Amino acid sequence: MYHHVKKLMFTVRVDEPDPRFGNMLLEQFGGANGELAAAMQYSIQGLNCEDPDRKDLLMDIGTEELSHLEVVGTLARMHLKPTKFDRQAAEADPLIAIAGGGGINLFNSQGNAWTADYLKITGELDVDLRNNIAAEARAKIVYERLINFCDDAGTKDALQFLMTREITHMKAFSLALESMQKPAFSVGRIAPTPGLVDQYFNDSTGTGEHGEIDTRGPWNEGNGWVFTESPAIQAEPGTVVVTESSPPVDEAGLDDLLIDELRDILHAEKQLTKALPKMAEVARFDQLRELFEQHLAETENQVERINECFELLGKTARAKPCKGMMGLIEEGQEVMAEGEEKEDAAADLALIGAAQRVEHYEISAYTTAKNLAQQLRHSAVVALLSKSLAEEENSDQLLNQVARSLMSVAKMPAAIEQAEQ
């Protein structure tokens, strides 16, 4: 909820209006680094933020930026006021004088309309905070330049206030980022390619008349940097540059984790090949029975794919007891036993519920294994797991469709009975 208080955050005083300077001020009203852009950027980031503490920070500063917009707008309007009645002043900016009647509008100093393209919003809190620090730095520089081009004492006081608050916001955003305790170069969730990430390409070379000399510094030497000649001038292109196809370094033991997941899935799928025929046998409706039979064939193929994954990884296709699937199948057996006493539709709906719990378990398992394989860049394994994952997701959707049909069937006797009454 916003509430407008009829008082400026900083009282504005202009002794000598300067329409040309008023036009410059519009850069901080409707420009890329201006107050409206900042207010919208921080507020929308805040609305998207799941972290309550940092959400409060973003909404606090976003709201303050709206008050800064009011200060800048008032300051610009006071400087532009002569364009309402003075021809010479109006010539400083005909767009403002003629189209806007001497008032402000959402344009920058060049007359370009404000646009949401100015906003930097990624939905990744640490990345957004870095964007905000940079935004405040740019705005600080704009205010500094405005102060340098201003002769009016009251205006300079207001600009000094606004410029100082940019530094305040930079400090707050920086400390919020620091409090997340996230490494500076840990951006997103996918790790960079080992080796490649530490290669510095010397892509601008030359000496004397042929160009400036190469320089070295902490940006390209020491601290793990590998100074590499430009790929464009290597004698044998590609022989020095570390590429995406380079063998990954498994520092976190992800290979072992992937193998463990695959062995768990293998046991789960083998259990399911024994359970599905029983589920098909007790299903009352043909549509559900056929779906179980179809998924049995898919499950048998999925077992073969898991075996192929082990072969690609150079590991033995050995199953590890999957207690999760064992529990789900035991629960399914209870559902089948209880279903003997139920009406057809109710019995099959309970059976679908048991089957969907199995599907969701498998979807979770395949998703985890696929993500691990992607991280380790086992592309062939990813392709096999993705195919099985798609089949599990499709099977879950088909079970949903059958369930909706059976619910309609289950409602029919009650509707007929009510109609007869």
Comparing C-alpha atoms, which of 369, 349, 374, 248 is closest to residue 305? 369
169 is in an annotated binding site: yes
Question: Which residues neighbour 204 within 8 Å (Cβ) at sequence distance 6 or greater?
Answer: 211, 212, 214
Flag whether 281 is marked binding. no
Q: How far is Cα 337 from Cα 350, in angstroms, rounded to an integer?
A: 11
DSSP string, 334-384: HHHHHHTTS-HHHHHHHHHHHHHHHHHHHHHHHHHHHHHHHHTT-HHHHHH
Label residues 98-135 b or e (16+ Cβ within 10 Å = b).
eebebebbebbbeeeebeeebbebeeebbebbbbbbeb
**Beta bridge mates, 113:** 107
Read off the amino acid at residue 95. L
**Do residues 89 and 83 lie in contact, with contact meaning Cβ atoms separated by under 8 Å?**
yes
State yes or no: 60 annotated in a binding site: yes
End-to-end CA distance of the chain: 54
Helix or strand (DSSP H, E) at 201: strand 199-202
Is 295 annotated to bind ligand?
Answer: no
* Separation between Cα atoms, residue 61 and residue 252, nearest integer Å: 39
Q: Is 267 annotated as a binding residue?
A: no
223: left (phi over 0), alpha (psi -120 to 50) or beta: left
Q: Is 210 annotated as a binding residue?
A: no
Q: Determine contact, residues 15/154, Cβ cutoff 8 Å.
A: yes
Planar angle of CA 265, 270, 274, nearest 5 degrees: 140
- Residue 308 known to bind ligand: no
380 pairs with which residues across the strands? Answer: none
DSSP 8-state symbol, 113 = B
DSSP 227: E
Q: Which residues are annotated binding-site positions for Mn(2+)? A: 35, 65, 68, 136, 169
Q: Which residues are annotated binding-site positions for Ca(2+)? A: 56, 60
Q: Which residues are annotated binding-site positions? A: 35, 56, 60, 65, 68, 136, 169
